[in-house]
Amino acid sequence: MTRAAPTPRLGRRALLAAPLALAAGCSAPGAVSDSADARANAPLVLRLAHNLSGTHPTSIAISAFADSVAELSEGRIRVDIYGSGQLGSETAVLGQLVQGIVDITRVGSPGLASHHPGYHTFGLPYVFRSEEQMHSVMDSEQMTEFYRSTEDRGFVGLTHYTSGARSFYTRSTPIRHPEDLRGMKIRVQDMRSQTELMEELEGAPVVMGFGDTYTALQTGLIDGAESNETVLTDSAHGEVTKVFSRTRHTIIPDVMLISSTAWKKLAVDDQEIVRQAARQSSLDHRSAWTEAITAAEEQSVEMGVEFIDDVDLDAFREATRPVVDRFAEEHSEVTELLALIETVNEETP
């Protein structure tokens, strides 16, 4: 994003001269009306913050979204992007969004569970059987209604982006069956669903910052971690792990949100423009993500990483089902979304 230049500091002489200049300007014919016209013609600016690098496929999709909003609104709406964590962590920016300080952001969907328990669903194991089925669910009219249900909680969902299927990757051990993880120390995200998943598999979940994971793998402090294939190249984890086992235990969508404050500022037609631009960016992102995964796989093989495809997915699904059942028992919202997902799964080949 092209940031506006910082406002120059005024010296003492300039400060003293400013009132005179202002008075002269006010006395000039048409000065007041010109100023009013400028304000009336100024675009509505929406501040969008995220923590992704500029080269990340989702970051590129977000930039395309901003361009589309400007084009579709004929310049009446401008989206200023603050990427790479300029305005804070994902959690911090979400807090700013709920307060109306930031207007738009992208977050991993389970991170919204503290605001709406239904979002727990998307971090649970094997709720989606494929990325195609995930897209079918997230594109459905029922999900659009779900997105709108949080307006009174500070935000409205606009669209989703894939973040890939998460699998286990280890220093040297292939993972084909649930028992292969027994006793292994695996770095997981700070999410209850992930720690419980590892416990059901009799592994040892290790919650640590992502930035510490490379060194922990390198030194043997942990035996492995879990993520999608791009982590092997983008974060160089392929240098310190040599086996990537496609367990595909979670397929977690990211969600683009707009604050309720910003949403209410938009006319109905402009709301549709923003939603349309978001939707198109999601569609375009899918092919870009597939290309990124393919490139990561090819580069990882050159780094000496072995990919394990003959994973017993049915055994993993059965072993981790208690995690899903517990969340469903605790939250009726999870039960409702699981029913929606199952319906779409039955309709999607």
* CA nearest to 93, candidates 156, 54, 274, 85: 85
Domain 165-251+300-347, CATH 3.40.190.170 — does that match?
Answer: yes
pLDDT at position 35: 54
Chain segment 90-144, per-residue pLDDT in tens: 999 999 999 999 999 999 999 999 999 999 999 999 999 999 999 999 999 999 9
- Mean of pLDDT over the chain: 91
- For the chain, which residues make up each domain, given as ranges? 165-251+300-347
pLDDT at position 41: 76
pLDDT at position 9: 38
pTM of the model: 0.86
pLDDT at position 3: 41
Which residues of the chain have a pLDDT value below 70? 1-40, 349
pLDDT at position 29: 54
pLDDT at position 28: 54
